[in-house]
Structure 1
Amino acid sequence: MHNFVYNGNPGRVIFGQGTISRLREEAERLGIQRLLVLATPEQADQAAAIAQKLGDRSVGLFSKAKMHTPTEVTAEAMEVVTETRADGLLAIGGGSTIGLGKAIAFRTDLPQIVVPTTYAGSEATPILGETENGRKVTKSAPSILPEVIIYDVDLTMTLPFTMSVTSGMNAIAHAVEALYARETNPVTCLMAEEGTSAIAGGLPVLQQDATSVSARSDVLYGAWLCGVCLGSVGMALHHKLCHTLGGMFDLPHAQLHTAVLPHVVAYNRAATPDAMARVNRALGSTEPARGLYELSSRLGATMALKDLGMREDGIDAALDQALSNPYWNPRPLHRQPLRELLTHAFHGIAPL
């Protein structure tokens, strides 16, 4: 076995059905007296209902979280933190809300409780991606990592199937890149393969029966494992491209990751044979890039960036930005094959 380093991030995970009932107990355990609840506008009512479980420990609801964590929204939320004298944060929702909580915690070091309602997986990472002036920048720090994650399968039962698909594929992207990251290690690889397998197995079941508790549980479990992978090792080309495209064109986060992932896997395939073998085992496929593309397509995901709102004349501008400060990648980055990658993703063409 090769030498390796594994860093396990701290954090408490509560997983199951009905676990939201332990919310007040967890706030008490952390010594939080004044929790500010965070949500998107679409989930404001759900967040308000859950906040009632806190009683007088809930001091307000900020429901303006937005995709890609724009800094101007964070600035507005920081004013509410000051006004309410909050000593803790409760993020209820998906990646947008979780990102806002992380952004506030990064600035204040307030403790966070996260209640995911999608399969984003970002709740398990000490990584924050913020957007300012059309550029998305990531940072990592211990204060960004939530102290407690409450996974309640019941809260995912009404997640629309289309969102379940792209949210789950977004989580798989974390695991796939963890398999060939520079800091990859045997422990992370085990979680990455298991997480990918759980999601890839659960989503087709949900396509037939969106109310399947066991499938919802499998996908949520897989999302947690994939998030741990993202938080334990660095990422590579896929995440750099998606951060660039998302920040520049305000493309929907999970759908963007779903569409781009098969093409990046095709780009890196020859340079990472061991990782690709794990992806094939997890998917039950014989070719990883095609396996990811066909799985997403069968589940009804949009696979063309043009259908997500990207302009074709933005391909070269995106490459300029991505290559100006690239992430490490197992295969060297060359402009022409990367341009072909983005062109295929733009049109939704199956990877070669």
Structure 2
Amino acid sequence: MIDRRGVIASGMAVAVAGAARAAGHGGAEDARLAGLALPPGFQGMLALGRAGHIVAARPVGMADIEAGRPVSAGTRFRWGSATKWLVSTAVLRLHEQGRLSLDAPVARYLPDLRPDDATPVLVRHLLSNTSGIPDLLSRQVGQEPELRTSRAPALAIARRFAGAPLSFAPGTGWDYAALNWVIVAALTQQVTGDPLVATVQRLVLDPLRLRSTGFAQADQPDMPALAAAYGVVDPPERKMAPVPPFLAASGTVAGSAADAVGAAHGIFHGALLNAASRQELTRIHWADQDYALGGRVRVIGGTRYAWEAGKVGGYRALIAHRLDRSETIVVFNTTDLDQAVISALAEDIARA
């Protein structure tokens, strides 16, 4: 019996790889992806990029099982916490423009938020998850599920949850706290007068011409060609929990593999950021986690990679960009795989 979905997906892979070969690439890069053993039930996209363009891609499975829509070059995926990378880039651009400083206390921009801290929380502490502000927001979500669908502005959420005593002195510990990024969203809106979504669009997405990337959240228009995500059950059930707008900075961006490659090249090798900002973006602030600003920097086979990973609902994303030359690995998954599995796939591609 012919697996119609497999035939469709294989056809899409041939079409995408053919486009790459028409641009002068393919061959070894196609083989690098085609030879990769994937976990059972994997659905999503694998891609390799060079200098901002895809040179090989392997779409796998269905973007929407119920609608019979296969994954294609134009399919968009949620990036989860890789959103933080784009937001950190926007903050660095504001820093370059003199509109804020990474080393300024948060209280300079949000004076009523934490005015009494003996050791001030700096903007860079938020971006590196070293602020010491306890994540009371995440703890409250279980008791107050309506927060998941709230449209409260980021500043209101920050004011409600950011007033507790610090868990540790800023810069002396690490906590992957969603509340840090709510505060970042509130802070940028105070500085620019615009919601975070508009600021990232103006400072990052538009200059890099990321036409297939945007914020997939309740207060934004529905995103065409967005893949559905599924839990690890049989038959598969959708796993697409709503993400409230006040979490925009921590995990609501979605886009195509081509845009992920374009973003990595533009941020780390293009003219979007100056050299000092690129260095800031990749300087590790917490070594035990390889964490820099808005993402990690990992060494694979002796080579440094910006390592932008994320998960939300059943979506998994990993954008790994080689820092010594512009090569990008993209792994997008929509079947709720363990993040360690996604990382292992990217490492296998990097070492191939």
TM over 0.5: same fold? no
Instruction: Using CA pairs under 8 Å that are at least 6 residues apart, name the structure with larger relative contact order, 1 or 2.
Output: 2
Which of the two has greater helix per residue? 1
TM-score by length of 2: 0.28
TM-score by length of 1: 0.28
